């Protein structure tokens, strides 16, 4: 299956309840960044450039729980930095799973084998392993040889131990439909991960590589070509069907970045985890004090090339829940065959 049925139904019910309560802005996914420190230095990274004193800071378990309880998002994506460096990461995950949040723990895989014992398989917990391409392309993207092989080894071991394993792949200017197909075919058919998240790279102002970013037209063209020949249907993608339509240019949406807020050692990032236009002290404060109309493609030059899921997947999910036809399409999408052994 792509998105698990349990998660699709829970998120659908949650969105429906927000609409009944006439809430026009609410969190679907919390992007929780309990530290910015990392053991890699990827060329496209917009996080590890923070000064040393900030890289040394950690969110406590209580701060993580409080943020999740305040924003009430049903899904929590724990990113960073490298979350496995955080000494209390297992406690953070356990506390959120206990609250029946769908937790995705993002990792570059370097520490996964060493730390896997402290986590327990659960329908509410999934690894989200960073894999941007096949061996040469991924190692180039993360700026270190041998990381692709470590990621594949960790994925296989996690699957063997009964964990749900997903991947996240970011595509850049060097990519084309062929390189996208190569890595997604491998993850889907050979590594047999449970599902895959994809994203066109975002041009972080402070990323060391400022040249290799996909523009909107190229993003649409290469995803349309990559998805052809039945691949989109065959791949287990961790996205709503409408978001995939959006990547292909079949529909367009406005940005609703309030749906995937980001909370880190600096507070609630305004307006999303890609731009840093200040920080709010709470989710309520973020909602109330951010000029949301100033953000999104066509509204702000900083957003001109953005097609990232943090801005547009919430819009796609909201459009899905509003439409019985799209809701049915999303449910049918979850019922496709699962990989052997999952
Ligand atoms: S693994 Fe993630 S956080 Fe670490 S350097 Fe790479 S992109 Fe940045
Ligand atoms: S378009 Fe939305 S998600 Fe993208 S950078 Fe702008 S505010 Fe963030």
Atom of ligand 1 nearest to the CA of 38: 4
The share of the chain scoring above pLDDT 90, in percent, equals 76
Residue 321 has a pLDDT of 82
For residue 75, pLDDT beyond 60:
yes
pLDDT given for residue 210 in this prediction: 59
Q: State percent of the chain over pLDDT 70.
A: 94
How high is the pLDDT of residue 235? 95
Q: Give the predicted TM-score (pTM) of the model.
A: 0.93
Q: How far is the CA of 319 from the centre of ligand 1 (A)?
A: 32
Q: Which residue among 199, 214, 215, 257 has the greatest number of ligand 2 atoms within 8 angstroms of its CB, and so is best to mutate?
A: 257
For 222-257, what is each residue's pLDDT tens digit? Answer: 999 999 999 999 999 999 899 999 999 999 999 999
Q: Which residue has the higher pLDDT, 78 or 322?
A: 78
**Nearest-atom index, ligand 2, CA of 311:** 3
255 lines ligand 2 (CB under 6 A): yes
- Domains of the chain by start residue, with CATH: 5-334 (3.20.20.70)
Instruction: Provide mean pLDDT across the span 306-332.
Output: 87
The residue to mutate among 34, 35, 42, having the most atoms of ligand 1 within 8 angstroms of its beta carbon, is 42
- Answer whether residue 339 shows pLDDT above 80: no
Q: In this structure, which residue's CA is closest to atom 4 in ligand 2? A: 306
Nearest ligand 2 atom to the CA of 255 is: 2
C-alpha 291 to ligand 2 mean position (Å): 12
Distance from the alpha carbon of residue 45 to the mean position of ligand 1, in angstroms: 6
| Residue 80 CA, closest ligand 1 atom number | 3
Tell me the pLDDT tens digit for each residue of 105-150: 999 999 999 999 999 999 999 999 999 999 999 999 999 999 999 9
Residue 79, ligand 2, Cβ within 6 A = no
Supply the residue whose CA is at minimum distance from atom 2 of ligand 1: 81
Residue-averaged pLDDT of the chain: 92
Ligand 1 centre distance from Cα of residue 9 (Å): 32
Question: Ligand 2: distance of its center to the CA of 7 in Å?
Answer: 25
Measured in angstroms, how far is the CA atom of residue 38 from the centroid of ligand 2? 24
- Give the closest residue to 286 by CA, choosing from 309, 266, 305, 306: 266
Query: Which band of pLDDT confidence, cut at 50, 70 and 90, is reported for residue 158?
Result: very high
Residue 8's pLDDT is 83
Q: Where would I find the beta strands (DSSP E) of 131-189?
A: 164-171
Look at residue 127 in the predicted model and tell me its pLDDT.
98
pLDDT mean over 160-181: 94
Residue 336 has pLDDT above 90, yes or no: no
- What's the 274 CA to ligand 2 centre distance in angstroms? 7
Q: In this model, does residue 19 exceed pLDDT 80? A: yes
Mean pLDDT of 40-49: 87
pLDDT in tens, 2-11: 677 888 888 8
**Does residue 46's CB lie within 6 angstroms of at least one atom of ligand 1?**
no
Residue to mutate (ligand 1; options 35, 37, 48, 308; most atoms within 8 A of CB):
48
When pLDDT is cut at 50, 70 and 90, the band that residue 206 belongs to is low
Under the banding of pLDDT at 50, 70 and 90, the label for residue 341 is: very low
The ligand placed nearest to the CA atom of residue 216 is 2
Residue 82, ligand 1, Cβ within 6 A: yes
| C-beta of 58 in contact with ligand 1 (< 6 A) | no
Q: What is the pLDDT of residue 1?
A: 45
* Most confident segment among 150-164, 170-184, 193-207: 150-164
pLDDT in tens, 261-312: 999 999 999 999 999 899 999 999 999 999 999 999 999 999 988 999 999 9
- Specify the pLDDT at position 43: 80
């Amino acid at each position: 299956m792509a998105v698990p049925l349990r998660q699709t139904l829970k998120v659908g019910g949650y969105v429906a309840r927000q609409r009944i309560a006439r809430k026009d802005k609410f969190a679907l996914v919390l992007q929780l960044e309990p530290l910015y420190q990392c053991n890699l230095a990827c060329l496209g990274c917009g996080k590890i450039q923070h000064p040393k004193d900030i890289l040394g800071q950690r969110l406590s378990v209580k701060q993580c729980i409080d943020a999740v309880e305040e924003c009430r998002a049903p899904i929590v994506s724990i990113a960073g930095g490298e979350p496995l460096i955080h000494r209390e990461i297992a406690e953070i995950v356990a506390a959120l799973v206990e609250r029946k949040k769908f937790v995705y723990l993002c990792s570059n895989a370097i520490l996964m084998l060493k730390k896997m014992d402290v986590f327990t398989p659960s329908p509410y917990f999934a690894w989200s392993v960073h894999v941007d391409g096949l061996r040469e392309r991924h190692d180039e993207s993360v700026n270190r040889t041998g990381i692709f092989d470590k990621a594949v080894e960790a994925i296989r071991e996690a699957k063997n131990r009964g964990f749900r394993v997903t991947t996240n792949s970011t595509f850049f200017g060097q990519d084309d439909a062929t390189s996208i197909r190569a890595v997604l075919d491998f993850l889907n058919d050979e590594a047999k991960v449970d599902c895959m998240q994809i994203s066109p790279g975002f041009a972080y102002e402070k990323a060391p590589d400022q040249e290799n970013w996909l523009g909107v037209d190229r993003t649409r063209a290469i995803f349309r070509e990559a998805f052809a020949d039945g691949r989109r249907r065959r791949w287990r993608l961790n996205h709503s069907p409408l978001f995939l339509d959006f990547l292909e240019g079949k529909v367009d949406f406005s940005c609703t970045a309030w749906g995937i807020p980001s909370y880190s050692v600096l507070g609630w990032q305004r307006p999303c985890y890609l731009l840093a236009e200040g920080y709010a002290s709470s989710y309520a404060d973020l909602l109330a004090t951010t000029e949301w109309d100033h953000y999104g493609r066509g509204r702000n030059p900083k957003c001109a090339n953005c097609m990232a899921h943090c801005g547009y997947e919430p819009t796609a999910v909201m459009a899905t829940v509003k439409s019985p036809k799209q809701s049915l399409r999303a449910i049918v999408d979850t019922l496709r065959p699962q990989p052997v052994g999952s």
